[in-house]
Structure 1
Amino acid sequence: MRADLHPLNAERLKTLADYDILDSEKEPEFDELVQLASEICGTSISLISLVEEDRQWFKAAVGLDRNETTIEESICSHAILQDDIFEVEDTQLDPRTADNPLCVGEDPLRYYAGAPLVAHNGLPLGTLCVLDTKPFKLNDFQRRALGVLSRQVTKQLDLRVALRNQAILQAEADHRVKNSLQSMSAIVRIYARTIKDPAALEALDAIQRRIDAVANLHLELQWTDGHDTIDGAAYLGRVMTLLQQTAPRHITFRSDFSPIVLRSDQAANLAMIISEFVANSIKHAFPNATAGKITAFLTDKGTGQYRLECTDNGIGQNAEKRPATQPEGIGLSLVSAAVSSLAGSSDASLTPDGSRLVIEFGSIAPTEIPETN
């Protein structure tokens, strides 16, 4: 017998759709719950069944190879009409299940018990159910346990929604921050056109580099589903592209970054180090518009250790000794602080072939590249 529609079926289906769970990949949190339900209840089958308009789909299953059934085969569509656990001790003796295709023929399902999965608005999404090929009856402990586990399933579903909403809000926040920083960068550029003092211009250039790097960081974070980790190679590549776009034409850039996952603070520190090296090379390494090249390479040394090497082929040791200006002193202090924040080590040198900066640090972020939309 096909079950009657739920009295608020349209609203119920909308609630189910809002969870965005249907046809999703398997998740261990749900797999563990059906395994536990089967073991506690002593049944061969356990399912997390979500009841749609024309099918029931299984988010998790143990003891059954199918991912879904038609609504005509659904016992859970009867269960969602109940306020409590729906139990059929022998499916062939109950008129609601006696003609169900799954309950007749070869190897029929003879037992069913389902605890409703109730959403925040009180509407049922489906059930956590247990089934077997022989008649059966839950004892009081098993009934209570099935109810507790069903509520845990619902909490996991709600948690997925909360995390998804958090990711949306975080992406919107990163988008707004990025736009604000880009506007601030434009203001700095406009203001710099009215400044004649070289030291002040240099300070504004340093400020703008940092604003642009952080804006790029928030652009990257905007597509990371709310995580505080990013694809470091992609982000550092964007930073290099931005630096090249603002560099004199006689200077070329080359970079290669090994795949790495970075926390946002790690990414910001590496971007600052690269930006300061590039700015210093542009200013001092290539006098009189001498053609030259600036490189940045990030290498995976294995066992979570990485090496960032920045070089230029400028005048290097041939540069005249000069007192550091105030902005340059600030830049060196920031690079030193960035290296310290990375818990890394640094080595800077001038050679006849140019200048070189090497940073070695360990990655303490997850090893998987975060997915982007």
Structure 2
Amino acid sequence: MKAPLHPHQGERLQALHSYEMIDSDPEKDFDDIVQLASSICEAPISLVSLVDSERQWFKASVGLDAMETPIENAMCAHTILEEEFLEIEDTLGDERTVDNPLSSPGPNLRFYAGAVLKTPDGLPIGTLCVLDHKPRSLSPLQRDAIKVLARQVMVQMEMRKALSSAATMRQEVDHRVKNSLQSLSAFARIQERSLQTEEARSAVSKIMTRIDAVSTLHEYLYKTDAGSNVDLGVYLDKIVDYLRQTAPANVEIDYAPVSVTVGSQQAVSVGTLVNEFVANSFKHAFPDQRKGTVNIALSKSASGAVSVICADNGAGMTPDIPSQSGGLGMKIAEIACMELRCELDLKISNRGVTASIEFKPEPRPQYRVQHQAQYQA
């Protein structure tokens, strides 16, 4: 017989769909649980079954090729009406399952036991169940094990829901921060035009350099799922694209991205340094419209150290001015290097300027949901 609707069917379905789990890819964590349930209960079939309005869908399964069954054939639809657990020792001897096509010869599913998957609000959304081809019963230990494993299924589902919610919130924050920073940058540029002294304009310019670097980072984070870590090669590529738009017609930027994962704050520091170097090269290195190139090189050594080298082939500077406020912008460079815990190697000659740093990448641990590439029943 078809199971009656749950008394809180609407709320139950809303809770089920909030996990965004139905029709998702197989995952090893759930596959491991059904394997363990099958072994403990000595049952050939074990399922993580999510009971929707018109079907039950299997997030994980052992011993069954089908990915879903119609709700009319769903033994688990009866289980979600129970408080915690349902065991049917012989499906042909129970009115709820005697006419179920799965109990008939062929499928011949004669034994069923399932523990309810409950949300923190107590709403049933599915089961962890085991089935056998012969009538039987579980031992008290096996029943307890199924209940414990059902709670572990919900722990996994809650964790994925929390991660998804956090990722969505982080993207929204990154989007809003990016927009706010762009507005602030535009305001600073307007104010810069009205400043009377070179010192004031230089100070505002340095502020805008930092704003632009952070804005680029948040745009990158918003469009990806980078979280607290950043692919520095991709991030610098974004900055270089921005700098190319502001480059004088006579100057080219040469950069080849290399994939290196660093912490997001480290990326901002590197981006600030690169931004400042290139902006100063545009301003000072190529007078009289002479043609030139600014080169940015990113690499990672066998020891894991990250190297960033910025160089131009411009007019250069005299060696006696590296500590002045002009040129590279030593104050910004000092702050960036302090954040990266590294030293700035600055080489100045009449053939150009080269600035290089080497630092240890410090990406933060990521907690991501792992998906199997392909499901095998």
TM-score (norm: length of structure 2): 0.88
**What is aligned with 1:126?**
126
Please say which of residues 226-235 and 112-121 is displaced more in the overlay. 226-235
Give, in angstroms, the shift of residue 131 of structure 1. Answer: 1.4
**What is aligned with 1:63?**
63
Q: Distance in 2 between matches of 1:206 and 1:333?
A: 9
Contact persistence 2:50–2:59 (CA under 8 A): yes
Superposed, 1:45-194 pairs within 5 Å as 45-106=45-106, 108-194=108-194
Q: Which amino acid aligns with 1:125?
A: I
**What is aligned with 2:290?**
290
The verdict on how the C-alpha distance between 1:34 and 1:345 changes in structure 2, with shifts beyond 3 A counting, is farther
Q: Distance in 1 between matches of 2:117 and 2:326?
A: 62
Please say which of residues 90-99 and 49-58 is displaced more in the overlay. 90-99
Q: Distance in 2 between matches of 1:352 and 1:334?
A: 23
Please say which of residues 354-363 and 118-127 is displaced more in the overlay. 354-363
**What is aligned with 1:349?**
347
Q: Distance in 1 between matches of 2:299 and 2:148?
A: 50
Give structure 2 stretches of 5+ with no counterpart: 370-377
Q: Which amino acid aligns with 2:131?
A: L
Contact persistence 1:171–1:226 (CA under 8 A): no
Moved over 6 A (4+): none
Give, in angstroms, the shift of residue 333 of structure 1. Answer: 4.3
Q: Deviations over 1:58-93 (max 9, x none)?
A: 112223333222223311111111112011111222
Q: Deviations over 1:289-327 (max 9, x none)?
A: 32221121223445644432222111236x474474336
The verdict on how the C-alpha distance between 1:366 and 1:259 changes in structure 2, with shifts beyond 3 A counting, is farther
Please say which of residues 157-166 and 79-88 is displaced more in the overlay. 157-166
Q: Distance in 1 between matches of 2:95 and 2:298?
A: 69
Contact persistence 1:114–1:129 (CA under 8 A): yes
The verdict on how the C-alpha distance between 1:345 and 1:112 changes in structure 2, with shifts beyond 3 A counting, is farther
Give, in angstroms, the shift of residue 104 of structure 1. Answer: 1.9
Q: Distance in 1 between matches of 2:63 and 2:124?
A: 24
**What is aligned with 1:32?**
32
The verdict on how the C-alpha distance between 1:288 and 1:324 changes in structure 2, with shifts beyond 3 A counting, is farther
Q: Which amino acid aligns with 1:178?
A: K
The verdict on how the C-alpha distance between 1:291 and 1:162 changes in structure 2, with shifts beyond 3 A counting, is same
Contact persistence 1:344–1:360 (CA under 8 A): yes
Q: Deviations over 1:127-176 (max 9, x none)?
A: 01111222221222222222222122222222222222222222222222
Q: Distance in 1 between matches of 2:61 and 2:303?
A: 38
Contact persistence 2:87–2:114 (CA under 8 A): yes
Q: Deviations over 1:239-288 (max 9, x none)?
A: 11222323333322221111233321121121012112212322331123
Does residue 360 in structure 1 map to residue 361 in structure 2?
Answer: no
Please say which of residues 347-356 and 172-181 is displaced more in the overlay. 347-356
The verdict on how the C-alpha distance between 1:362 and 1:302 changes in structure 2, with shifts beyond 3 A counting, is same
Q: Deviations over 1:334-356 (max 9, x none)?
A: 43443454455653323564222
Q: Distance in 2 between matches of 1:327 and 1:352?
A: 16
Give, in angstroms, the shift of residue 212 of structure 1. Answer: 0.8
**What is aligned with 1:313?**
313
Give the CA RMSD over aligned residues.
Answer: 2.7
Contact persistence 2:333–2:344 (CA under 8 A): no
Please say which of residues 53-62 and 240-249 is displaced more in the overlay. 240-249
Q: Distance in 2 between matches of 1:366 and 1:174?
A: 18
Superposed, 1:187-226 pairs within 5 Å as 187-225=187-225
The verdict on how the C-alpha distance between 1:226 and 1:6 changes in structure 2, with shifts beyond 3 A counting, is farther
**What is aligned with 2:324?**
325
Question: Secondary structure of the equivalent of 1:349?
Answer: strand
Question: Secondary structure of the equivalent of 1:210?
Answer: helix
Question: Secondary structure of the equivalent of 1:191?
Answer: helix
Give structure 1 stretches of 5+ with no counterpart: none
Q: Distance in 1 between matches of 2:364 and 2:302?
A: 14
The verdict on how the C-alpha distance between 1:17 and 1:101 changes in structure 2, with shifts beyond 3 A counting, is same
Does residue 44 in structure 1 map to residue 44 in structure 2?
Answer: yes
